[in-house]
Amino acid sequence: MSTITDLLATMDYGPAPESDAPAQAWLDSQGRRFGHVIGGRRIKGGSFFDSLNPATGQVLAQVAQGTPALVEQAVKAAEAALPGWQGLGGHGRARHLYALARGLQKHARLFAVLETLDNGKPIRETRDIDIPLAVRHFYHHAGWAQLLASEFPEQQALGVVGQIVPWNFPLLMLAWKVAPALACGNTVVFKPAEQTPLSALLFAEVCSEAGLPPGVFNLVNGDGAVGEALVRHERIAKIAFTGSTDVGRAIRRATAGSGKKLSLELGGKSPYLVFADADLDAAVEGLVDSIFFNQGQVCCAGSRLLVHEGTAPALLARLKARMARIRVGSPLDKSTDMGALVSAEQLARVTGFVERARAEGADVFQASATALPAGGCFFAPTLVAHVDTASEIVQHEVFGPVLTVQTFRTPAEAVDLANNTRYGLAASLWSESIGLALDVAPRIKAGVVWVNSANQFDAACGFGGYRESGFGREGGREGLVEYLKPAVPSPRGGSRAARKTTVHGTVVAGTAAGIDRTPKLYIGGKQVRPDGGYSREVWAGKRLLGVVPEGNRKDIRNAVEAARAAAGWERSTAHGRAQVLYYLAENLDAQQARLVDLLAATAGTAGSTAARAEVQAAVNCLFSAAAWADKHDGAVHQPPLRGITLALHEAMGTVALVAPDEAPLLGLLQLAAPALAMGNRVVAVPSSTLPLVAAELYALLDTSDLPGGALNLVTGPHDELADVLAAHNDVDAFWWPSASAAQAARVQALSAGNLKRTWVAEPVTGMPTVLQQAVQVKNVWVPYGV
């Protein structure tokens, strides 16, 4: 006679198929052939490609291949719609966004089934996660449209924006990008992934049903050539891209110097940390949701399991037992846990990673509750153990249901392992100690950290990465800012320098012949001689003021190394940083007579008055930066779940900046002081017309308690030193607001190596502008009551 245990062991889920008849009927109604949507009209295509169901190999529809001419047509339609769309005002746009949200809700089941057919993900994921969250984004941004004028009074829309999304979350990525763009008053040219265009085409129908003005949303289908035409189009004001790091790097180079705003949400290799005191059963369930959700085709998937070595045996035993119960099968079965990978090419890519790891000696465990279905792009959940930190499968994004495992002994070692990657998109950590969790979370270099949870998203909370996971945010207030610009014209067409003198040095200003002070560079808190041994004369008309050292590539290398070594400045308290900046302002004020004389030497008849005003403004700037040090903090979001999200402002890291030639003292400090206030370490190239000011600052820095390496000053030619800094892989952000268009193009292209965030050829409209550039937002999700 069977026992209850025996019966339970043999129990299994019965089939629970979701009918695809409505989706198939919709495809039939369209003739299973789709063109483009431009200016509210359907545009037929010339050549077509197949959109396949990856679970069966069935051809769902044929989709037109776009061309640069169609991209141009779409841009013209978006331009034509722009005045009317902006003329509606915030309330008018809010009504349209609300209507789009309602339209998505009305067709929610159709969207869910269509997405599952086109992408291969389980119906319960599209039905319960993707579609509701897409709806949430349109509702949320309807609210932002209503509040835009009062919350962003000095900001305006960018214009026509180009948006390119991947195939892993076709409709959700559309919502993440389209909703904030429309809320801010922009019009859109959108390119879906060629593998998964169908839900975007259905969305275009919803736009028509909801009465969205023609041309506000335009859709051009096609492969990467269409995306390239969009990226290179000269009248596109912004590119928002989600996809691979390699393509993101190419987009950075292609848009360099174009003036386009750019946001990149790229790859990831996210750590999943399990500490000794974690709830192991909960951690295993979270891990399944993290790495096997959407077949692991998630940029923020927790693909690197880092577990305390004493806890590892118990956790891995539970994990293998849980993996054995994961059901891989038809995505339209509501009992399915994992569906199909998106394409045969993706299946081959994932298989290749695993087989190479196996050949290198890794231990590969694969299990599934049922045999993999035949005829589709299915891959079993996989655990890869006995791997080195440098292994390909640990360092490179697999983008599939593949998990590696490594162990650690201490929290510090866990953080080091977590940060040992070129990416920085997300992390998940598990501990019953909230103190440990909130100590570790800020130390992980990632844009999102989930505590005792994984893959939590909401429209109110920003999402985006650090390092080679890209820059910019989607969602929340910070995501909205990506589609706005200051309501002032941006200068173009050359450097702001108007002075005729070439000033590279320091002497006692105002004297015809002073004692030769032999100025040096300021690196690591010390005055150091330039590596090249060269100096340049400083002239004010026919009067020699002195000489200044010429920094070179090696001096920049030393300055960046000093900045990286000064990480304690970032870890210091905001209050402590404020005190140092106040002290620096006090010392600057005490030395204003010397600085006024120096600045006046090249300023003509009105020199003394202007110089005195500049020094006072510099003191005021330092005071303001000190004041903001402990006030430009983050926010606490309350998403619609049981928990809170801490949106922390974190320093960029090492910020390199080139100071403007105008107002050499104030121009330097208005960039460096806010950066320092936020905990960044700075490598600055002072004014090329009067860098003597920087040398006068050396003594002030030495007596103001600023740690060595927090601020480094390297005088020399702007173009040469800027190129070195922009290309340096240990520089996290590069600023040159006074750059010309040609200079901006060059340094932005050079910055693509490590995808550092750049701020070039744009006006400095006040300290809030600089503070915004000086931080990146980390969202830490902390659940409660669960």
Q: Which residues are catalytic?
A: 265, 299
Q: Residue type for 103, please?
A: G
Query: How far lies 254's CA from each of 227, 259, 473, 750, in Å?
Result: 12, 11, 21, 11
Q: Tell me the C-alpha distance between 264 and 177, whole Å.
A: 11
The secondary structure of residue 764, as a DSSP letter, is -
Q: Tell me the C-alpha distance between 662 and 448, whole Å.
A: 39
Interior angle at CA 433, CA 427 and CA 437, nearest 5: 25
Phi, psi of 112 (to 5 degrees): -60, -45
Q: Tell me the C-alpha distance between 172 and 130, whole Å.
A: 6
Phi, psi of 781 (to 5 degrees): -90, 125
Distance from first CA to last CA of the chain, Å, rounded? 40
Distance of CA 691 to the CA centre of its chain: 34
Token pair 């096997």 in the structure block, residue: 292
- 202's enclosing H/E stretch is helix 198-210
Q: Tell me the C-alpha distance between 49 and 61, whole Å.
A: 8
Q: At what angle do helices 131-151 and 89-106 cross, to 10 degrees?
A: 170
The secondary structure of residue 425, as a DSSP letter, is S
Q: Tell me the C-alpha distance between 252 and 24, whole Å.
A: 40
CB burial of 481-519 (b: ≥16 within 10 Å; e: otherwise) equals bbbbbbeeeebeeebeeebeeebbbbbebeeeeeeeeeb
Instruction: Check: CB of residue 571 under 8 Å from CB of residue 542.
Output: no
- Please count the CA atoms within 13 angstroms of the CA of 174 that sit on its side-chain side: 30
Instruction: Check: CB of residue 278 under 8 Å from CB of residue 432.
Output: yes
The secondary structure of residue 520, as a DSSP letter, is -
Instruction: Check: CB of residue 215 under 8 Å from CB of residue 80.
Output: yes
The secondary structure of residue 490, as a DSSP letter, is P
Q: CB-based burial of residue 390 (10 Å sphere; 0-12 exposed, 13-18 middle, 19+ buried)?
A: exposed
Q: CB-based burial of residue 229 (10 Å sphere; 0-12 exposed, 13-18 middle, 19+ buried)?
A: buried
Nearest to 114 by CA among 84, 134, 136: 134
Q: Tell me the C-alpha distance between 323 and 326, whole Å.
A: 5
Strand partners, 501: none
Q: Which residues contact 175 (CB under 8 A, 6 or more apart)?
A: 133, 134, 135, 137, 138
Instruction: Check: CB of residue 265 under 8 Å from CB of residue 475.
Output: no
